[in-house]
Each structure stands twice: as structure tokens, then as C-alpha cells.
Structure 1
Amino acid sequence: MFGQLALVLALCSPVVAFARTETRTPPTQAASVPALPTDPTLEQLLTEALANRPEMHQAEAPVRAARERVPQASALPDPVLQVGIQNDGFNGFMIGEMETSYFSIMVSQALPFPGKRELRTEVAQLGAKAASTQVARVRLSIEAEVRRGYLDLLLTRERLMLLERLQALWKQSADMARIRYETGEGAQSDLLRAQLELNRLRQRQLALRAEERVRVQTLNRLSGRPLETPLPTTTRVRDMGVPEPGDVEAAEKDALERSPELAQQRALVAQAGQQVALARRERLPDFTVSAGVMPRGGAFPPMWQANVGVTLPIFSGSKQDRVVAERGAQAEASARGVETLEQVLRLRVRERLIALEALRDTVAIYREGLLMQSAATAESTLTQYRVGRASFASVLEANTGIIRDEEDYLRTLADAQRLAIAQAEVSLEPVASLGGSAQSAGGMPGTGSTPSAPAGGAAPAGGSPGAPASSSSSSMSGM
């Protein structure tokens, strides 16, 4: 009996001790992005993922292609070489015999109106700049994807530890129920219930170990390693704490500066402005310069000629003017896109900071009262069961409640980390509902309840850019 009580207290003592020693001191300076925890294993995974992921190379190839278009835009049109012959009559070649018979060699070169080539070059450069933002998005998404995968692995392994603790608790409960049944003080149903729960725990343990293996293989795939490469971890979810929400204005400014989507849209706005200027310049005529020499043979001296031509934009009303209107509409659409993205980014930043503050307060409730109250309830129930004043079902419920509360506490910490990852990723995805985060007992061993969705940001686009919501919480029902 006392051994079981000691085990119950040991289950929650690390959290209780951490709750007593931690103080929530305000940061010395406002942080724009919550600090993300790291360790050597995670750093190595991030380095290898950025170096080995094919998505990075796939994103870099269009950028190289766009940069190759810049010198093309500034190049002159290819010159035209013409070789011909002019002959008098059809009875034979009269070159050298007739004054008007000769060979001709002509070269012509088209010359755009001054300023057109420069504008075309600027348009191509801005297009390459817009394309380069995709590399930044893929980089952010890969890093966020690896961090979320690593967080899922840590959470799965910590859930396994909780399951092992609960299994030890059930074994002691089964031994106690057997002793009371053999001495005639307890019912046979108590012993059968304990044995039933032990078998259920073994099933859930198998499911969790399979989940852990999948998590490891997923991380290895993300970093370009062999799938079965072991991933030792020393960090625990409970050691990560809750990131500081930071200052709203600083966070908004950081998001507006680092967002690849906003940088791309701004580059497209600048490109659209230059395209409008180029479309207006296209209404001006281009020139053609040509020169040639005509050898006549015999005693006749060679002839030469030089020409200057100019295009006549007489159809500008249906062509060049329409291009100007088209580019103007595109420029307006790009400008509206910038406004939309800025609004969405500010909203997402505030959503995450509000959610992070709520999770921080929720963690404080766990640390400052709920976990200790759960431990005290289990201790009191065990004492009452020993003297016959409580049922065995009450003991089982109290014992399970300790693990359930601790797992919900870990899930809340993980949700806070996902929000910080989404903030670092500059995700545009909305924050998931927090309604179930503090209430759900989903995935708790022995409860059979259904977990709520995690409070995360966006799902990655590594897919897609940016989304940090993890699948770990959705798998809690296997516990």
C-alpha cells in the first residue's frame, strides 16, 4: 500500500517541483519571435534537412532559370544577314558584263527605342527577385516541419514513459486487489478490473511504440537519412517551458519583414510598375539599321548602301494602349495583394500571441495547483481505500487522473511550442481552436476518450509553406 503511494507521488513530483521553483519573470526586452528550444540532435537534423531535401533544390532551380532571363532581356535582337544576286535577263549570269547585275551582302540590326532594354532588364530582375522568395519559404517550411516532427517524437516518447508509469501503478493496484481478495476484504471484480486494464495498457503500449518508430522514420526522411537510423533524444517536452508571447508590434514588424509571401508580392508590385512603364515606352517606335555591299565584277566598281528604318505604331490604339491598360490592372491587383497579405499577417500574429498567452496561463494552472491537487486526491483516495472507506474504482480513477492531467499538461506545452514554430515560420494558416486543449483527456490511458485538435499554426508546405499543426495530438486516442 505504501509502495503504491510512493509511486503516485513520484509520478507528479518532477512537475510539482518545477512548478514551485519556476517564476514567471518578464523579459528584459520585447522579443519579436518566441525563442525555440534546440539540442544537438535537432540542430543536426535541421542542418541535414536543409542540405539534403530535394525540395530545396527544386525551389532553387526556378530561381536560377529566372536569373538567366535577365541578360536575355537586355540583349539586342539578333542581326539579319542577307545574301542575294541581281541579274539582267534569264539567258545567263551577267555579273561583270552588265552594270546592273551584282551580288549583294546585307546586314541589318533592329534597335529598340532608348530606355526599352533597361526597363526589360529591370522587369526580369524583379521577376527573379520574386522567384527567390520561394527558396526562403521552402527553407522556413523545412525547418518548421523538422521542428514539429521532432516535437512529435519527444511527445510520443514522453507518453510512453507515462504509460510505463501507469502500467507499474496498475500492477501494484492488481497486487493490492489480489491480497484483499485472498484475505476476504475485497471483491473479485476489483482484481479482474485491474487485470483487464493491464492488458489494455499492453495494447496501447504496442501502438505507441509503432508510432514512435514512424516518428523516427519521418524525421530521418526529412533529413535525408536512412529510415531506420536511431534518433537518441535527451530533451523532454516538460523541459521546454512556454515561450514568451513577446511584444505585439515587434512581432508584427518581424512578420512583415520576414514573410516570403509578402516579399514576393512586393516584388511583383515593383515588377508591375516597371511593366507599366515599359508598356508606355513600347508605344514609341523602334529602329532598324542596315548596310550592304554589292560587287558587280569586271570593270564596274562595287556599290554599297545604308538604310535606317523606323516602325510606325499606327495600331497602338488596339495594341500598345491595351497593353498599358492591362499592365495597369495587374499593378493594381498586386498592390491590393500586398494590403491583403499585410492584414492577414497581422491577424495571424495576434492570433498566435493570444493563443500563446492563453496556453501560458493554462500551464500556470497545471503547475500551481491542478497537478498538486491531482496528487493529493490520489493520496487521499488510497488512504481511504486502505481503511475500507473508498471503492477500488475510486482508486483506479484517481490513479489514472494523475497521468491524464500530466499528459494534458505535456500536450499544452507542445501546443505552445507549435505556436512558436508557426511564428518563426511566418505561417499564414489560422490558429486551431484552443477550446479542447485544457479540457480534453483524450488519449489518456484507461479513459478511452477522444483528444482535441492541437493549437498549432499552419501545416507545412513542403509540401506547402508553413503549417505547424501536428498529427501527434490526433493520435492520442491510441493511448
Structure 2
Amino acid sequence: MNRYVHIQAALTVLMTLSLPSVAAPHETVDRWIDEALTNNASLSAQYAAIEAAQAEEEASDAWADPVVKYGIAPETLEGSNPVGHRFEVSQALPWPDQLSASREASQAGVLAARQDTQWQTRKLIASVREAYARLWYSNRAIALHHETRALVEQLADITRQRLEYGEGTQSELLRIETELDTLDAKLVELQADQDRLSASLIPLLGRRPEPDDLVLPMPDQTTAVSDLSAATDHPMVQAAEARTAEARARLDAAEAGRRPVFTASAGYNSLWADERKRWMVGVGIQIPLSGQRQNSAVRKAAAEVSRRQWQTTQAHRDLLASIGDAKAAIQAGYGRLEILDERHLPNQRAHWEASLNDLASGTGRLEDAIKSARQLTGVKLNREAVVRDLVSAEARFGALVATQVRK
């Protein structure tokens, strides 16, 4: 029996080992976008705002609730006389254009909420792309830091060899070891910055992403240049225009509020001895006494229309300014990247190799070689920063002109 159990356990282990391992999903920018669109709290709150606006729209043109009144004559509860009752139903009669204005205002409010949500979605996607680029850059900074340490280790090897042949000095070797200690301390700082950056993305994604194996797609220069055009139907502007339309409809409703309010009523009063007088129908009218309250409401609504119009104008201007800023950043980024790839980086590599050869032959200075190693890594890091900023600029531009926006 025990032998059978051991065989079964061994087979179970072998079957488990033979099964393909399930790898953790890669930290791609598309995965981040999907998670943000699903888990982001601000975007979910914006969808709730649409629901609230739609709920308000459903009852926007509804009549006021009727008023039912009932009365009884207490003295008639005792005695041989019939109990005296009185009831009445009254209904306020709204003006048709007042109802339609209220309906138009609510519809404009729904449109504004939807456009706000679309704009929030665009900004969220752009923020995810920028955050991905920042974390990628942090990862690249650590990788390049290791490259710098490897370069300094080469200097240490050369210095040890020269020291063995009696050409180097102990102080040079100690200087390199001090440089390695400085790099190790800097690495601790870079890793701490990366941890803080990863933690700061929890509100955006709903979780803390892993910074490993991040792949940042290189932007396509041709596509970016061809898409540099002004947007005419941006949700930020459309939301501002919808709110202006809502304010105009509120103004129309306030203008209608200056008119008298009519009320129709019907009732029955059993206290009348003559049965022909017991049923009653009537019309009531509420006349503004001074009109001050109504005039104040109209002035307030007119001021709100003016405020919304200015906000719409400002939204147009902000959009054009933001597009111009993103366009300039993209063009400058590609220009800097071209200089780095074609001139700066090759020249700095050549300078490092020359410094390394000079140090090995005894004609170069150690401090010059250390400085060259730092500069080489600095140029590489500068290039990665340009790529990061370029991706961020194109993400912002995509939100402004609806490029790279996922539905």
C-alpha cells in the first residue's frame, strides 16, 4: 500500500513538472491602458455623472405633482347629521416652452457629461502612456548605471595590470574603488526612486506595476508629422459648448418664469346643503407681486450664459495652445534624437575608447578616463530621456487630436 502511494505521488510530481508554466503577463502599455480604463476610480466616477445627468433628463419636462387636499368637519362626527367632507385636487399648468427649455437644458447636461467622460478617457490614456515612459526611463537609468559600473571595472582591471607591471600607483586603484563605491550608493538612490514611482501609479492602474521587462515602442516620425493638425471636434470644447447651450436653455426657462402661474382645480364639498353646489371646478393664478425674484433669476441665468460663453472661448484657445506646444515638443524631440544618434553618441563612444587606450598605454590620465565613462553613460541616458519626453509629448498630442486613442 505504501509503495502504491509513493508511486502515485511520484507520478503526480512528474505530471506537474510536465505542465507548461503560466508566465506572468508582460507589463505592456496596452495592458496598462486596459487596466486603467477598467479600474481607474476617476473615470468610473465620470460614468456615474452620466447616469446622474440621464436620470435628471428623464423628469426634466414632467409636470409638477398634483396637490390633493382633504378636510373633514369634526362637529359632524357625532350626531344624526351626515359627516361633512371636503376634498380638492389642484394641478399647476406649466407653459409649454418652459417645459421644452427644461428638457433642452437637461439634454445639454447629458451631452456635457458624455463629452467630459470622453475627454477624461483621452487624458487617462495619455497619462498611462506617460507613466509607462517614466517607469521605462527609470528602468533604463538603472541599466545604464550598471553599464557605467562595468566601464569603471574595466578601468580597474587596467589599473591592476599596470600596477603589477610597476607602471600604476596604489592611489589610482583606490581612486577607482572610491568611484565604484559612489556608483553603488547612487544605485540605491535610483532603485528607491523607481520604487516610489511604481507606488505612485496605484491610483492610475489600481495596482503597483513591476518595472521589469518594459518595452517602449519607438514613435514613428512620419506618422507623428502627418497627424499634426488642429482638432475641431474636441470633447473639451464640445463639453464647454454643451454647457453654454444648457445655460441658454436655463435662461429661456427663467424668462418663462416671469409669466403668471395658472392652476386648475376640482373638488367636492359635502357641507353644502344644496347638492348642486357641492361639486366645484376652478382656476387659480399666481401673479408676481413685484417681479423682483423673477428678474433676479433672469439676470443670474444671463450671467451664467455669458460665463459659459467665455469658458468656451477659453477652451478653444487652450486647445490650440496645447496642440502647438505638443507639436513643438515632438519636432524638437526628433531633432535632438537625430543629433544624438548620428553625432553625439558615436563621438562619445570614440572618446571613451581613446581614453581607455590612452590609459592602457600609460599616456592618459585616470580622471580623464573616469570622466569619459561618465559622459558616455550620460549621453546614453540623455537619449533615453529624449525618447521618454517624445513619447509623452505624442501621448499628449494624441489626446488633443484623437490620435492613438482607444475606444
8 Å Cα contact 2:272/2:278 also seen in 1: no
- Measured after TM superposition, the shift of residue 247 of structure 1 is 5.5
Aligned residue in 1 for 2:112: 130
Q: In structure 2, what is the Cα distance between the partners aligned to 1:247 and 1:95?
A: 93
Aligned residue in 1 for 2:392: 418
Aligned residue in 2 for 1:384: 358
- When normalised by structure 2's length, the TM-score is 0.83
- Measured after TM superposition, the shift of residue 51 of structure 1 is 0.9
Aligned residue in 2 for 1:293: 268
Deviation sequence 1:392-448 (CA, Å, 0-9, x none)? 212222222211111111111111111112222339xxxxxxxxxxxxxxxxxxxxx
Match of 1:76 among 63, 69, 73: 63
Higher helix share: 2
Q: In structure 1, what is the Cα distance between the partners aligned to 2:61 and 2:79?
A: 44
Instruction: Label 1:426 to 1:95 Cα distance change in 2 as closer, same or farther (>3 A).
Output: farther
Q: In structure 2, what is the Cα distance between the partners aligned to 1:247 and 1:424?
A: 12
Aligned residue in 2 for 1:349: 323
Aligned residue in 2 for 1:315: 290
Aligned length: 376
Instruction: Label 1:404 to 1:244 Cα distance change in 2 as closer, same or farther (>3 A).
Output: farther
Equivalent residues in 2 for 1:131-146 (5 A)? 131-146=113-128
Aligned residue in 1 for 2:308: 334
Aligned residue in 1 for 2:43: 56
Equivalent residues in 2 for 1:60-459 (5 A)? 60-85=47-72, 95-96=81-82, 102-219=84-201, 222-225=204-207, 227=208, 230=210, 232-236=212-216, 239-240=218-219, 245-246=224-225, 251-253=229-231, 256-260=232-236, 262-295=237-270, 303-316=278-291, 318-426=292-400
Instruction: Label 1:122 to 1:92 Cα distance change in 2 as closer, same or farther (>3 A).
Output: same
| RMSD between aligned residues | 2.9
8 Å Cα contact 1:59/1:134 also seen in 2: yes
Q: In structure 1, what is the Cα distance between the partners aligned to 2:99 and 2:77?
A: 50
Deviation sequence 1:362-395 (CA, Å, 0-9, x none)? 1111111111111122222223333332212122
Q: Which amino acid aligns with 1:391?
A: R
SS in 2 for 1:371: helix
Deviation sequence 1:168-203 (CA, Å, 0-9, x none)? 111111111122123221233321111111111112
Identical amino acids, percent of aligned pairs: 23
- Measured after TM superposition, the shift of residue 224 of structure 1 is 2.4
- When normalised by structure 1's length, the TM-score is 0.71
Instruction: Label 1:221 to 1:71 Cα distance change in 2 as closer, same or farther (>3 A).
Output: closer
Instruction: Label 1:298 to 1:386 Cα distance change in 2 as closer, same or farther (>3 A).
Output: closer
Q: In structure 2, what is the Cα distance between the partners aligned to 1:377 and 1:307?
A: 101
Q: Which amino acid aligns with 1:270?
A: A
SS in 2 for 1:75: coil
Structure 2, unaligned runs of 5 or more = 1-25, 402-407
Q: Which amino acid aligns with 2:225?
A: G
Instruction: Label 1:244 to 1:409 Cα distance change in 2 as closer, same or farther (>3 A).
Output: farther
Structure 1, unaligned runs of 5 or more = 1-38, 428-479
Instruction: Label 1:214 to 1:241 Cα distance change in 2 as closer, same or farther (>3 A).
Output: farther
